[in-house]
Chains A and B, each alone.
Chain A
Amino acid sequence: RKEVEQDPGPFNVPEGATVAFNCTYSNSASQSFFWYRQDCRKEPKLLMSVYSSGNEDGRFTAQLNRASQYISLLIRDSKLSDSATYLCVVIGALTFGSGTRLQVQP
């Protein structure tokens, strides 16, 4: 089993939709989790950290479920500019998921 697994997508959603991605991890001792955003042919950039209590930043909400060993990213009111690949990162072995591609359509 891979250390970190993500549904590669693509997720094709209309503008204004709510979309959620999950990322499962295998190491129960993992302590830190992040979501990164990567635009086509660009470097990844931090989107948000994932805290045990969950955290929200505008239209974006990240949550951690330790019992089931997954983190999630919820995007509300999708914009065209949200189209990108979203990578989850699990610290422990500094492992990146392979990314979930989101395409928001007009």
Chain B
Amino acid sequence: NAGVTQTPKFQVLKTGQSMTLQCAQDMNHEYMSWYRQDPGMGLRLIHYSVGAGITDQGEVPNGYNVSRSTTEDFPLRLLSAAPSQTSVYFCASSYSPGESEQYFGPGTRLTVT
């Protein structure tokens, strides 16, 4: 199993550009989520999904969209990049949100200039 994969690993955007961060898992997990991690801070939940076709907002959803058309994929879209979105983005998956281990992807390091 590849586990959770994320692409790209690094990205530099100009203010106002849009892009999609890709996340895929091959463990048949129903639950997937996106976090951002800023220096000296913990992980903050952006959006999550409890299954295909179902998504919901986390703590910091503004400026981001998600979709979940399949169990395997959970892309995160930045609509109009801002310098405040410079961060490391982690995708995670698990069998359920509350009781089981979350598996994280390797992260995408995004810089917005």
Contact = CB atoms under 8 A, between A and B. Distances in A.
Interface residues of A, number: 24
Specify which of A44, A46, A92, A94 lies most central, judged by the most chain B CB atoms within 10 Å of its CB: A94
B90 interface: yes
A62 B50 CA distance: 29
Interface of A: 4, 6, 8, 31-32, 34, 41-46, 49, 87, 89, 91-99
Interface of B: 33, 35, 40-45, 48, 58-59, 90, 97-99, 101-102, 104-107
13 contacts: A32-B98, A41-B107, A42-B106, A43-B90, A46-B101, A46-B102, A87-B42, A91-B99, A93-B45, A93-B59, A94-B33, A96-B35, A96-B43
Contact of B48 (A8, A46, A94, A99): A94
